[in-house]
Structure 1
Amino acid sequence: MPDEFLDRVFQGTDDQQRYRKRQLEHVSHRRSVLDDIEIERLIAWGQAQPDPQVWQVLANGLSVFTPSGDSDRVRLADGCIQFLEASPNPVDVLNGYAEQITPNGWSGSRADIMKRNTDALRVLLEHENQAIHEAARQVIAQARTWETHERAREKEADEAKERSFE
């Protein structure tokens, strides 16, 4: 049934498609609906589609980051590299992964979570496929900018709390 499910996401009016695509996106307090579909099946479905943009939509819906065993670190989830390697445009897939660098829900420092997730992408800098290597370099550079802005925002918020406490 995954093929019929995925076909349905990309059918209907623009509003219906937009709503269904949003339902695929990973949300921190629940599992992604794509987690139950084998990565090989997602790849085969994506390869059968005439529109290469489906790959970024699927990338947005994959659970990209998973605990590495060490409580402070994460790694790319199983299948994410395989999905990336099979895609016709690695930049689109990595942009989909990048949307998950910033957490939707969190406790502690949001910037620290962003750094941890960005660090998990560093493994792609050593990838033999030059397109994947270059796309990873660009996404990581952009993510570092987001992290820097978030650290500045957190610092400003902490200083405002200190001023109000005094």
Structure 2
Amino acid sequence: MEKVINAALCFDGNETQKTEWLDAIFSDVDRHYGYSNSFEKAIETTAGLMPQAFLNRVFQGTEEQQNRRSFFIRHGGIRRSPLSKIDVTDLIAWCQQRNTPEIWGLVASGIMLWEKADANENGYFLTTSAVTFLEAAPDPEPVLHAYADRVTPSGWTGSRADTMQPRADAIAELSLHVRQDISDAARSTSNRLAMEIERERIRDRQRDEDREQRFE
């Protein structure tokens, strides 16, 4: 389906049909309380080819609709946010036009964030898009908070804390950023993540002890 959508949206004209397609996407999101498990790639393709119209729809409708659509951007039940297909320069331009500080945090929650440092290792680093978006934000703190919220994986095997640590380390690298506001915000965010990971390690140890006791 994404190939059909890509072919249809690449041409000028048919604005009525394009609007109807956006209506269909967000009606489905509204109906399912911010979740959408269908046509993932078709939705991503739509966002990439109609970035401004797609983003505008998130902030249209009633307050309840906007809340559900914001949830869709953050968590929506698909493997990655539809915003991952939108070029970061388009995301930055749209946020600057809105001139609303909280917008930056919402959009940051949908950016493609992690890249593997090495295929054979567990390390991560932030994507160029993520760093570029952070540097363009008027206030780095809400953006880094959105990034930190994604340190915790939706699924994992083994130790949850061990899964979180490499991602937290990638954010911690920003404490060396040349801009003082970014380095300060990164340091504060990293301290919070360190405490969360330590609490998770304590829970890991408690679960291990409980399993050992049941085995005995």
Corresponding letter in the other structure for 2:92: I
Which of 129, 142, 149 pairs up with 1:92? 142
Following TM superposition, by how much is the alpha carbon of 1:28 offset from its aligned partner in structure 2, in angstroms? 9.0
Query: Relative to 1, partners in 2 of residues 1:13 and 1:27: Cα closer, same or farther, differing over 3 Å?
Result: closer
Indicate whether 1:37 and 2:37 are aligned.
no
Which piece of structure 1 moves more, 156-165 or 69-78?
A: 69-78
- 8 Å CA contact 2:175–2:184 kept in 1: the answer is yes
What is the CA RMSD across the aligned residues, in angstroms? 1.5
Q: Which residue is equivalent to 1:102? A: 152
Segments of 4+ moved more than 3 angstroms:
26-29
Deviation at 1:121, TM superposition (A): 1.1
CA 26–80 in structure 1, closer or farther in 2 if over 3 Å, else same = farther
Alpha carbons 2:171, 2:190 under 8 Å: kept? yes
AA partner of residue 98 (structure 2) = Q
Percent identical among aligned pairs is 40
- Report the TM-score, using the length of structure 1 for normalisation: 0.95
Distance (whole Å) between structure 1 residues aligned to residue 110 and residue 85 of structure 2? 11
Instruction: Tell me which residue corresponds to 1:48.
Output: 97
The aligned residue for residue 125 of structure 2 is 75
Q: How does 1:2-151 map to 2 (within 5 A)?
A: 2-25=51-74, 30-69=79-118, 70-151=120-201
Q: Residues 28 and 138 from structure 1, CA distance in 2 versus in 1: closer, same or farther, beyond 3 angstroms? A: farther
**Residues 27/116 of structure 1: CA separation in 2 closer, same or farther (3 Å cut):** farther
Distance in structure 1 (CA, Å) of the matches to 2:116 and 2:51 = 26
In 1: Cα distance, 2:177 partner to 2:203 partner: 33
Counterparts of 2:111 and 2:77, CA distance in 1? 12
In structure 2, list runs of 5 or more residues that go unmatched. Answer: 1-49
Tell me how far apart the structure 1 counterparts of residues 156 and 62 of structure 2 sit (CA, whole Å). Answer: 34
Distance 1:28 1:122, change over 3 A: farther
**Is the 2:108–2:143 contact (alpha carbons within 8 Å) kept by the matching residues of 1?**
yes
Q: Which whole-Å CA distance do the structure 2 matches of 1:64 and 1:87 have between them? A: 16
TM-score between the two structures when normalised by the length of structure 2: 0.73
User: How many residues were matched structurally?
Assistant: 166
Q: Which moved more, 1:92-101 or 1:121-130?
A: 121-130
CA distance in 2 between counterparts of 1:120 and 1:65 reads: 9
Q: Gapped runs of 5+ residues in structure 1?
A: none
User: CA-to-partner distance for each residue in 1:99-148, whole Å, 9 max, x for gaps?
Assistant: 00111111111101111111011221111110000000000000000000
Q: Deviations over 1:7-28 (max 9, x none)?
A: 1101222211111111112579
Quick one: higher RCO (CA 8 Å, sep 6+), 1 or 2? Answer: 1
CA distance in 1, matches of 2:125, 2:57: 31
Counterpart-to-counterpart distance in 1, 2:142 and 2:183: 13
How much does 1:63 deviate?
2.6
